[in-house]
Amino acid sequence: MKGRVLVVDDDTALAEMLGIVLRGEGFEPSFVADGDKALAAFREAKPDLVLLDLMLPGRDGIEVCRLIRAESGVPIVMLTAKSDTVDVVVGLESGADDYIIKPFKPKELVARIRARLRRSEEPAPEQLTIGDLVIDVAGHSVKREGQSIALTPLEFDLLVALARKPWQVFTREVLLEQVWGYRHAADTRLVNVHVQRLRSKVEKDPERPEIVVTVRGVGYKAGPS
Amino acid sequence: MSGNGAAPERGVGRPVDTAGGISLLRRLWRAARQLPDGAASGPVHPVLRLYVRWVRRPLLPAMRLWRRNIQLRVVATTLLMSLGVVLLLGVVVIGQVRNGLLEAKRHASQSQAEGGFKAARDAADTVSDGRGGQDGAQSGGRDTGAWLTGLVQQLASGGQGVYHVVALSSGGGDTSAVGARGPRASGDLDPEHSIPADLRKQLDLKTGALERSATIKHSAADEGEPALVVGKRMYGPDGKAYQLYYLFPYTQEEKSLKLVKGTLLTAGVFVVVLLGAIAWLVVRQIVTPVRMAASISERLAAGVLQERMKVTGEDDIARLGEAFNKMAQNLQVKIQQLEQLSRMQRRFVSDVSHELRTPLTTVRMAAEVIHEAREDFDPVTARSAELLYGQVDRFESLLADLLEISRFDAGAAALEAEPVDLRDVVHRVVDGALPLAERKGTKLLVRGGEQPVVAEADSRRVERVLRNLVVNAVEHGEGRDVVVRLATAGGAVAVAVRDYGVGLKPGEATRVFNRFWRADPARARTTGGTGLGLSIAVEDARLHGGWLQAWGEPGGGSQFRLTLPRTAGDTLRGSPIPLEPDDSRRNRGMNEAGVPLAVSGRGGGAPVPAAPTGPSPVPAQTRPTPTVDPTALPGSGARVVPRPGGAPFDRADRPQPERSERPEKASGAAGSDARDEERADARAGREGQARGR
């Protein structure tokens, strides 16, 4: 079972506490406290998920996030003490899939981790089309005219959620629930940022999206096939 | 006009003078009449008002220019006033000149005429002496006639064109003597029409020389020219009276006057135009820097802080510029300081946030782990674990609220507005509050959710505000229904949360929003809540450009209303929902006079609390901390019951509660954080009051 979690945090007490909680839930945590060493530790540990503190000595969390994202689509959950929009959005834009604001409840953290891991676990043989894109759900690939487009698992999930019901307009809250696994409405900025990131990858012209269309005042829907 | 002017001059003067005077007067009169027309258009006839508006509409741009352009105003005023001065001067000068001319003419004419009369008398004497009275009467008429003709010719020959001489028979219409005394005149003028009739009559009665102004006519149809007539009754050689007139036309004087007028007109036009130009130039000197200052102020206000005025010279304008620049400089420095402070504050808040939250996270996780395992501990440790767990929660929410407030204070809060259907938000909030409501035995009702209630808002913030309001309402609603109303109208949307709990005391409706406000400072904290919830909610509302207001009456519940502009950035002018609900005690009393107050279940189906049926046991039972004075609890029920039930003394009773409750409508207050003690106090007070009655 996938359960390796890399904890990147400079606060030893918190890291230890996180270790206790994660072990209690059956994960295998490994730790790194320095931003400069984070990438090496990531390569070595090959985790299934990264818990990343935003404020780190050496390289800061944003930078680490970018580096990890550059070479892997592994889910990244940011731990942040800053709930200001700018901080959160910058974190998400640097490639994090989700974020959790300190102080958090252990159960909440575990739920988020499980949600991210489950997403990357369950492949169902299915072929979807959205616009001129062909999505192979089981093979986890998206192709436009034979050219495959690299998406992170989260972006892939987002695209699949939209493509499965092209007739439906998804509110941000619904997407949060389906893609991120939030049961209560949380911050819809998550959705906005990831839709932007997804568009920058799959749209021909991100300024005039055709795949993920905004329905003003409601949410998003898949573009016409 | 000069006081020494005799009748004739005045007579002559008038035609010229009055022409100017009358036209000026008429203009003034017209202006004076127009003014009240325009000014009094309010109360006048609607048709007239319509007419005035219709007339005024095309003038509006000009009027706007007039109001906005001081240069135009000054130049126009200068032009008008100098025109008035020049006109006045002209009238006076022309009058003086004419007076002088006329006076001179009169003197000259009089001496000329005297001479003529004397010559005529001499001539008559000579002839009558020569005849010695022998001439018969039959030839006398013819001779006299010839003599008279000769006399007229002789007299007139002295002043060719300067004056005319006319001889008329005395006694007006005596036709018998026509042959002898027929009118004679030098030149070709028409004597009958040139000499005024009344002068002829007067000459018959008086002996001296008379003068009069008249019009010389060469024929009956002739327009004639103005002239001075000097006449005298004379006696011819035959001893019979005849009238001799000298007529002096004003030709020369007219010419002189015309010249003076022309000169004055030219000078006047020049003066007016030049004065206008001077005014324009002078005003421009002042207005240009003022305009520059205005435009630069506007740019400063728009945030271009390095904008400065150009200063040249050392005059007042330059001082204005210097002072202005100094002010701008100081402003810039202050604003930069404030920005710096704000940045530091924000930075500090952010840092504190991080520094505090990380250990708190650890504490919290540890507390949770310990809490999970509390069954394995001895009772004391287990209870300690529970306390630790609960208080860490509280500490966390307090910290979160503090940070949120300080973010507002630092101006770091940003609005992320997008179209939101408030119904969705309300339903989420209500769903979230259901567990608490069930514990309290409260029913949550939503009204007005049939149509979309869309506004450009930050749904995260609006949800936080509404969650706060609904949770407060449930917590202080004493188990009675809580009604959430939605409405949209006139560019605004509103959500009102109504409860029927303890309500607010007078003055509390504004104080509930104060930070850490407590109804009773001495009272210990019992229920959850940080004391900052409503303060944050107010800031959230303000960030939207919206309102958050409270209304309440003691024991009658409260209503909190959030009003937001439908378009972000708009200014609110009103709210679709009245702050005081329809089913407030005052409204019910007014609407259904005479009907027992609490029986009425109106107010759009808003349920009146179950109070009339007696004290509700629910609040007392579910109250988490029974630290309240137990005797006070039934009082809440008891207090409500007599009021509706006590119909007999209802009428006499009503004025009193109304008097005491009205002020709280203005100020009224339901503490979001109203604590049990406070309720108890309120209740105890009421109890006492009731008993006192």
Supply the pLDDT for residue B640: 30
Candidates A82, A100, A220: best to mutate against B (most CBs of B within 10 A) is: A82
Cα–Cα distance between B514 and B272 in angstroms, integer? Answer: 67
Supply the pLDDT for residue B6: 39
Cα–Cα distance between B480 and A126 in angstroms, integer? Answer: 52
Residue among A87, A102, A105 minimizing CB distance to B357: A102
Q: Please state the φ and ψ torsions of residue A2, each to the nearest 5 degrees.
A: -75, 130
For chain B, say whether A19 makes contact (Cβ under 8 Å): no
Contact B364 A21 (CB under 8 A): no
pLDDT above 50 (res B331): yes
Supply the pLDDT for residue B71: 85
Residues B582-636 have pLDDT tens digits of 888 777 765 444 444 443 334 333 333 333 333 333 333 333 333 333 333 333 3
Cα–Cα distance between B228 and B214 in angstroms, integer? Answer: 6
Cα–Cα distance between A201 and A155 in angstroms, integer? Answer: 9
User: Cα separations (Å) of B299 from A126, B284, B294, B308, B516?
Assistant: 61, 22, 9, 10, 41
| Cβ-contact B385, B418 below 8 angstroms | no
pLDDT above 60 (res B125): yes
Residue A44 is encoded by which pair of tokens? Answer: 């070595």
Supply the pLDDT for residue A120: 53
Task: Give B467-527 as a DSSP string.
Answer: HHHHHHHHHHTTTS-EEEEEEEETTEEEEEEEE-SS---TTHHHHTTSTT--S-TTSPP-S
Contact B359 A14 (CB under 8 A): yes
Contact A81 B460 (CB under 8 A): no
Q: Helix B137-157 to helix B70-131 angle, to the nearest 10 degrees?
A: 140
Cα–Cα distance between B389 and B395 in angstroms, integer? Answer: 10
Cα–Cα distance between B588 and B327 in angstroms, integer? Answer: 57
| No. of helices (H) and no. of strands (E), chain A | 8, 12
Least confident of B9-23, B53-67, B99-113, B135-149: B9-23
| DSSP strand pairing (A147-149 vs A141-144) | antiparallel
Shortest CA distance to B474 belongs to which of B447, B505, B508, B442?
B442
| Cβ-contact A192, A172 below 8 angstroms | yes
Location of structure tokens 């009055």: B18
Q: Please report residues of A whose CB lies closer than 8 A to that of B419.
A: 216-217
| Cβ-contact B97, B278 below 8 angstroms | no
Residue B590 is encoded by which pair of tokens? Answer: 């007014």
Residues 202-221 of A with CB under 8 A from B: 216-217
Average pLDDT over every residue of B399-423: 81
Least Cα separation, residue B71 to chain A (angstroms):
51
Least Cα separation, residue B476 to chain A (angstroms):
25
Least Cα separation, residue B540 to chain A (angstroms):
15
Cα–Cα distance between B423 and B405 in angstroms, integer? Answer: 27
Residue among B357, B365, B419 minimizing CB distance to A217: B419
Least Cα separation, residue B682 to chain A (angstroms):
38
Supply the pLDDT for residue A83: 63
Shortest CA distance to B602 belongs to which of B576, B584, B579?
B584
Cis peptide before A103 (omega within 30 of 0): yes
User: Cα separations (Å) of B247 from A211, B166, B215?
Assistant: 112, 8, 9
Cα–Cα distance between A23 and A29 in angstroms, integer? Answer: 7
Contact A11 B362 (CB under 8 A): yes
Q: Please report residues of A whose CB lies closer than 8 A to that of B365.
A: 14, 17-18, 20-21, 106
Least confident of A65-69, B396-400, B557-561: B396-400
User: Cα separations (Å) of A212 from A77, A173, A185, B132?
Assistant: 24, 16, 21, 144
DSSP H or E segment with residue B447: strand B444-447
| Cβ-contact B615, B638 below 8 angstroms | yes
Cα–Cα distance between B137 and B238 in angstroms, integer? Answer: 9
B→A interface, C-beta within 8 Å: 350, 353-354, 356-366, 368-369, 396, 407, 412, 414, 416, 418-421, 424, 428, 432, 454, 459-460, 463
Residues 113-152 of A with CB under 8 A from B: none
Supply the pLDDT for residue B485: 92
pLDDT above 60 (res B653): no
| DSSP strand pairing (A49-53 vs A4-8) | parallel
Which pairs count as long-range contacts for B200-203, CB under 8 Å and 24+ apart, including other chains?
B200/B168, B200/B172, B200/B231, B200/B243, B201/B172, B203/B170, B203/B231, B203/B232, B203/B233, B203/B243
Residue B668 pLDDT class (50, 70, 90 cuts): very low
Q: Please report residues of A whose CB lies closer than 8 A to that of B362.
A: 11, 13-14, 17
Residue among B353, B359, B460 minimizing CB distance to A82: B353
Q: Please report residues of B whose CB lies closer than 8 A to that of A87.
A: 350
First to last CA, chain B: 91
| DSSP strand pairing (B557-565 vs B547-553) | antiparallel
| Cβ-contact B155, B178 below 8 angstroms | no
CATH architecture of A4-119: 3-Layer(aba) Sandwich (3.40)
In total, the C-beta contacts within 8 angstroms joining chain A to chain B are 74
| Cβ-contact B552, B534 below 8 angstroms | no
Residue among B360, B362, B428 minimizing CB distance to A185: B428
* Percent with pLDDT over 90 in chain B: 13
Contact A105 B414 (CB under 8 A): no
Cα–Cα distance between B122 and B680 in angstroms, integer? Answer: 134
Cα–Cα distance between B247 and B164 in angstroms, integer? Answer: 5
Cα–Cα distance between B634 and B687 in angstroms, integer? Answer: 9
Residue A140 is encoded by which pair of tokens? Answer: 């986890």
Shortest CA distance to B467 belongs to which of B494, B506, B502, B427?
B427
Residues A104-136 have pLDDT tens digits of 888 888 888 888 887 655 556 677 888 788 888
Candidates B361, B389, B422: best to mutate against A (most CBs of A within 10 A) is: B361
A80 → chain B, closest CA residue? B354
Residue among A14, A85, A188 minimizing CB distance to B361: A14
Most confident of B171-180, B200-209, B289-298: B289-298
Contacts of residue B412, Cβ cutoff 8 Å, sequence gap at least 6: A84, B342, B346, B349
Contact B358 A85 (CB under 8 A): no
Average pLDDT over every residue of B525-536: 72
A53 → chain B, closest CA residue? B358
Residue B172 pLDDT class (50, 70, 90 cuts): low
For chain B, say whether A104 makes contact (Cβ under 8 Å): yes
B361 → chain A, closest CA residue? A103
Supply the pLDDT for residue B181: 58
User: Cα separations (Å) of A72 from A91, A141, B235, B447?
Assistant: 17, 15, 146, 51
For chain B, say whether A20 makes contact (Cβ under 8 Å): yes
Residue B554 is encoded by which pair of tokens? Answer: 């003691």
Residue A225 pLDDT class (50, 70, 90 cuts): low
First to last CA, chain A: 37
For chain B, say whether A40 makes contact (Cβ under 8 Å): no
pLDDT above 60 (res B637): no
| Cβ-contact B504, B664 below 8 angstroms | yes
Cα–Cα distance between A164 and A175 in angstroms, integer? Answer: 12
Shortest CA distance to B320 belongs to which of B271, B280, B284, B286?
B286
Shortest CA distance to B494 belongs to which of B521, B468, B466?
B466
B349 → chain A, closest CA residue? A82
Mean pLDDT of chain B: 74
Location of structure tokens 């192979």: A136
Q: Which residues pair with B228 in a beta bridge?
A: B213, B248
Location of structure tokens 């009907």: B595
Supply the pLDDT for residue B395: 86
Q: Please report residues of B whose CB lies closer than 8 A to that of A55.
A: 354
Average pLDDT over every residue of A131-142: 81
Supply the pLDDT for residue A93: 83
| Cβ-contact B664, B506 below 8 angstroms | yes
Supply the pLDDT for residue B130: 66
Least Cα separation, residue B658 to chain A (angstroms):
44
Supply the pLDDT for residue B627: 35
Residue among A84, A87, A103 minimizing CB distance to B360: A103
DSSP H or E segment with residue A6: strand A4-8
| Cβ-contact A27, A4 below 8 angstroms | yes
Contact B460 A17 (CB under 8 A): no
Cα–Cα distance between B152 and B187 in angstroms, integer? Answer: 10
pLDDT above 50 (res A201): yes
| Predicted complex ipTM | 0.73
Q: What are the structural domain ranges in chain A?
A: 4-119, 127-222
| Cβ-contact A15, A7 below 8 angstroms | yes
**Domains of chain B, each with CATH number or no CATH:** 317-408 (1.10.287), 418-692 (3.30.565.10)
Least confident of A62-71, B133-142, B337-346, B642-651: B642-651
* Percent with pLDDT over 70 in chain B: 71
Least Cα separation, residue A7 to chain B (angstroms):
14
Cα–Cα distance between A15 and B344 in angstroms, integer? Answer: 30
Q: Please report residues of B whose CB lies closer than 8 A to that of A20.
A: 365, 369
Cα–Cα distance between B482 and B500 in angstroms, integer? Answer: 7
Least confident of B237-246, B382-391, B393-402: B237-246
Residue among B354, B414, B420 minimizing CB distance to A82: B354
Average pLDDT over every residue of B139-162: 72
Contact B396 A14 (CB under 8 A): no
User: Rounded to 10 degrees, what is the CA torsion of A78, A82, A86, A89?
Assistant: 20
The correct CATH number of A127-222 out of 3.40.109.10, 3.90.550.10, 1.10.10.10, 3.30.360.10 is 1.10.10.10
Q: Among the residues of chain A, which ranges form H helices?
A: 12-24, 35-45, 61-71, 85-93, 106-119, 153-164, 172-175, 189-202
Supply the pLDDT for residue B179: 46
Cα A123 versus chain centre, distance: 17
Q: What is the pTM of this model?
A: 0.49
Least confident of B167-171, B212-216, B285-289, B421-425: B167-171
Cα–Cα distance between B132 and B489 in angstroms, integer? Answer: 122
| Cβ-contact B524, B627 below 8 angstroms | yes
Cα–Cα distance between B109 and A159 in angstroms, integer? Answer: 119
Supply the pLDDT for residue B20: 47
Q: Please report residues of A whose CB lies closer than 8 A to that of B423.
A: none
Average pLDDT over every residue of A167-186: 77
